[in-house]
A = this chain, B = another copy of it.
Amino acid sequence: MDKTPYHHGDLRNALLDTARGVVERDGAEALSLRSLAEDLGVSRAAPYRHFADRDALLAEIAASGFEDHVAAYQAFLDTDMDGRDRIALTTRFYLDYAARRPGLHRLMFESDLLARTPPPAVLIPPADRSYRLLVEIVRQAFPGESEDATLARAITAISTTIGFLTLRGAGRFKPFMRGGLSDADIEAAIIAAVSNQSAAAPLAVGSICAPSTPGSQ
């Protein structure tokens, strides 16, 4: 009956939607422009009319992920709650977001998209906004500190959260869980560590040790 028209109509958004689904579930590595085009019933060259290359499509998907985070952080900041609880809530959000969309999480926080020089233009605004809001959340939890101290706290907090997700995703914690420690226990410990950083001097350490590197063979 309705034979497929020559023009798709909204191929660009169709590509974004379908591709985001693939990335969320199976990660950026699993995304193939060819199979994507085939799934949507267009030729393999069609996607290149809308995205310069594969990375350009991935950049837009990552950007949409950062926009999700921006919306969530903004909502957290708009609610009136204790600063430490807000950090715990934010950390909980990270964990849930990554659990639901492991591949998208990896694209956002482990890919080198943002390390390019220059990074994809579409990625910069949402990534920057998410930085700023995260720092604001940390600032409100540890008020009255210097800007550098706040930044150091923010970096430590996000490092702990992302590192946990990276390592769990990489299967590095499987040996730890043969004991009595459940996944929920570990998540609770991470949230506690992020929310209850010691209130003292995050930048007070000198160089405790020289950058020696034994075993570097």
Q: Which A residues fall within an 8 A CB radius of B?
A: 68-69, 71-72, 75-76, 85, 88-89, 92-93, 95-97, 100, 109-116, 119, 127-128, 131, 147-148, 151-152, 154-156, 158-164, 166-167, 169-176, 179-181, 185-186, 188-193, 195-198, 201-209, 211-217
Contacts and interface: CB of A to CB of B under 8 A. Distances in A.
A189 B158 contact: no
Given A128-B175, A167-B159, A172-B109, A152 B189 contact: yes
B208 A148 contact: no
A85 B181 CA distance: 27
Given A155-B189, A163-B166, A112 B216 contact: no
B151 A179 contact: yes
B97 A155 contact: no
22 contacts: A69-B215, A71-B214, A71-B217, A92-B208, A112-B169, A113-B170, A115-B170, A148-B180, A148-B181, A151-B176, A151-B179, A152-B185, A152-B186, A155-B176, A155-B189, A158-B163, A159-B161, A159-B167, A163-B166, A192-B201, A192-B204, A193-B197
Nearest to A86: B209
Candidate in A111, A192, A195, A196 with the most chain B CB atoms within 10 angstroms: A192
* Identical copies in the complex: 2
Contacts of A160: 156, 159-160, 163, 193
A16 to B, nearest CB: 14
B68 A171 contact: no
B186 A205 contact: no
A159 to B, nearest CB: 4
A211 to B, nearest CB: 5
B186 A173 contact: no
